[in-house]
Amino acid sequence: MVDVHQPLRDNVRLLGDSLGKTIEDHLGTAILDTIETIRRLAKQGRAGDSESRARLEELLTTLSDEQILPVTRSFNQFLNLANIAEEVHRVRRRKHDSNQLMDDDTLPQQLVRLHNHGISKDDIVKQILALDIELVLTAHPTEAVRRTLIQKYDGIAECLRALDNVGDDTADGQRLVDRLKELISQAWHTNEIRTRRPTPVDEAKWGFAIIENSLWKAMPRFLRQLDESVEIATGHRLPLSAAPIRFASWMGGDRDGNPFVTSAVTREVLLLARWQAADLFSKDISDLRAELSMGDCNATLRQAVGDDEQEPYRAYLRQLSRRIEATQRWARDELAGRPADDSDILRHNEELLQPLLECDRSLRECGMDIIAEGMLRDIIHRAYVFGIHLLRLDIRQNSERHAQVFEELVAYYGWGNYAEWSEPQKQAFLLRELKDRRPLFPRDWVPSEEVQEVLATCRTVAQTPASALSAYVISMASVPSDVLAVILLLKEAGMSWNIPVAPLFETLDDLDNAQSCMQQLLDMPWYKAYTQGQQMVMIGYSDSAKDAGHLAATWGQFKAQEALTALCSERGVHLTLFHGRGGTVGRGGGPSHTAILSQPPRSVNGSIRVTEQGEMIRFKFGIPEIAVRNLELYTGAVLEATLTPAPAPKMEWRKLMDDMTAVSCREYRAMVRDNPQFVPYFRAATPEQELAKLPLGSRPAKRKVDGGVESLRAIPWIFAWTQMRLMLPTWLGSDQALARIEAQQRLDELRDMASEWRFFSAYLDMLEMVMAKTDTNTAAWYDQRLVGADLQPLGAELRTRLRDMIALYKRIRGRDELLVQNPVIKHSIGVRNPYIDPLHLLQAELMRRVRLYGEKGVPNQIDQALMVTMTGIAAGMRNTG
């Protein structure tokens, strides 16, 4: 029997041996021997050898401050190399293993299934052309790996892929192996930890790099593959304009709680995107002109270049090249603050597309379809997907900041206290001013710096072309005045078009109230006209789960989407739901296609927006082949959810979910909010306090510097529990709710729900994946090293509850082990555990030392080693935020 994982093991061995040789060359044989001893003891401990585990704990706690840094670095590097090998193996298996190509979530299989379901071929094509999928790249701080290291890791991945084609026993193979060793050495000798936090502009540049290095290649491949699949299944070809997936970004536009995202930063990011797009298209057009040396052309092209031109396509595209170069110069001068000439720049995407489409038309009319189907087609696809702005920017701001503007303005006019007005009073005022043509803001008004920044942002938005922006998102939205306030601010700034304004409903109460809020808005004739028949609403996954627990939040999100879908259908408005999903399950993470197919019936309806955050951007889209697969999954899932929506859940299932979530929410809040020992335990057992040392992203970890857990952002809340493997936010509360159902002898009802209801099945699958990543022994080690005797009983209680939860889950599913149905993830976790274990043990020891040093000053190597353990554990756990 063929061992499908053997190439993966071979790659891991090659990378590991190269890393070991690099460490030995740098630090000597003694430190390498120590690392190998730790690795061997960790493997034996994982295999159940308690003596080896005890020796491992003793060895790691007695390492000197000087030894501890290279040891942590070695295991961190190995986990990053293992991730690379695994990603390459995923590509390899899809390419070579025919069984992988028969997955029922591939586009060809889905198209056949849809047709067999009674959907006509014409309707399938019509719906594909109507798909509107927007993936929104965000810079939320869960990408722990530095950009310079990511570039080296990309190089390592390219070498591994190339080795598959030549073998390592050839001359070319040896050169690739040598290059691998060089890149691994470069990575080892590069500091893993940023010396400063990235700025919002740095984050935006990282997003641009993902497009340049992967998505620029992946999108044309995906669109070709989509066209081929559709032609085989329906006999129709898609037009060149077909672009079911586009990209937007929050990088440089998300100012919610981030004081570093200013109007000046937003303007700079928009200009950088223009420059980056021009740079990429400049290279493409240069390569295209080199290829299009043909002399035959149609009458339109001939008239444009003249009768004497021997190479009409090159001549015709010369002017486009000049305009792209002019756009680059203009953007560069604007960024540098120099006088900028905008007389010949590209202002509209049609100005980029028209010359390309004319070349395509001429080639086809002259019988050169095969040439039109080459490089030109790929560039046209990129022009439709990315265009002159590269990716559209979202603006996001907290509702409190908008309200502050009107509080100060109303006080200036002496009209009272805006904050004390009732909601109907606020709505009446805002609507009256929206309908009034006179300016509202006085010229001599000098508001606070915070308000001036909000107004400056609105002016920047108003001055930006509509094609460069996607939406204005209002975080912590709860009432109609939150939406009307933004529209009025933009109107006063000179906005000339109706930008989609998306309220973000985040807490459980706000989700429950979402339908009422939107109903009030859509019942306002002025607002209904503003929407032009299109409404976007963002669903928050992070804060709702942190507020009420994962089970209650998940059900609250489902019901909110149901209610909003019904409301917009009644009002004749097309609803686009914007899912603010993170990488980890506690923030809505998990396989994208599973999540889409488990949405409420008719809530997808051809359009969807989804955030792709932090390290998940790199894992999903960092390699072109993997990016193509994820784009395929998104497209197929949205198409299937639109054309064959799942049936509504049975009433008895809804009642059972209501009962379970009531228990779950109560038990979750009883622990997190009401137990006086919980916050001290959380801060003692997890690296929540130490996470502030890690310069992950530009945004502060807390909304308020002096706040408690309630002010902590959802990402560090999840990140901290993941680091010590208790994963509490995902299962706490659910354990008591499910136990109550078992006590009532109703497990058969749960099993029926799991087998017949995609939503509940997806919930259980995600819960299972998280539980498979928990480790109560590791969590106990953190307690032993860090938690005082008075708080240790709480830790023991939580670990007991987790073990009971896992046992209960197995009974519900009728299985003896976790992940029986998902051997790939099970194998991945099993491979990583022996290498993550030392990092957990080291992290707890390093936290102990840091806390002992206290005000005396922590040695640099201890601080550095602690941060390396955080990035290493994040790399090993993969979806940490």
Q: At how many degrees (to 10) do helices 734-743 and 651-669 cross?
A: 130
564 neighbors 604 (Cβ within 8 angstroms): no
253 neighbors 395 (Cβ within 8 angstroms): yes
Q: How far apart are CA 801 and CA 827, in angstroms?
A: 26
Residue 690 tokens, joined:
């130490």
| Residue 435 φ/ψ, nearest 5 degrees | -85, -20
**Helices (H), ranges, 50-106:** 50-61, 65-96
Three-state SS at 416: coil
Q: How far apart are CA 306 and CA 264, in angstroms?
A: 46
Residue 650 annotated among the catalytic residues of the structure? no
Q: How far apart are CA 329 and CA 487, in angstroms?
A: 34
Task: Given the residues 381, 426, 546, 579, select the one marked as catalytic.
Answer: 546
719 neighbors 592 (Cβ within 8 angstroms): no
Q: Which of these, 214, 217, 144, lies nearest to 622 by C-alpha position?
A: 214
The long-range contacts involving 826-830, CB below 8 angstroms and separated by at least 24 positions, are 826/772, 827/5, 828/86, 829/772, 829/773
390 neighbors 211 (Cβ within 8 angstroms): yes
Residue 293 burial (10 A CB sphere; 0-12, 13-18, 19+): exposed
- Amino acid, res. 330: W
Q: How far apart are CA 181 and CA 175, in angstroms?
A: 10
Three-state SS at 475: strand
**Helices (H), ranges, 97-170:** 107-116, 121-130, 147-166
Task: Given the residues 140, 181, 389, 579, select the one marked as catalytic.
Answer: 140
Q: Which helix (H) or strand (E) segment is 398 a member of?
A: strand 392-398
Residue 389 annotated among the catalytic residues of the structure? no
Three-state SS at 469: strand
CA distances from 126 to 115, 119, 214, 239, 311 (A): 13, 11, 29, 11, 39
First to last CA, the chain: 38
660 neighbors 548 (Cβ within 8 angstroms): no
Q: Which of these, 864, 847, 799, 689, lies nearest to 61 by C-alpha position?
A: 847
Q: How far apart are CA 277 and CA 112, in angstroms?
A: 37
356 neighbors 316 (Cβ within 8 angstroms): no
Three-state SS at 688: coil
Catalytic machinery residues: 140, 546
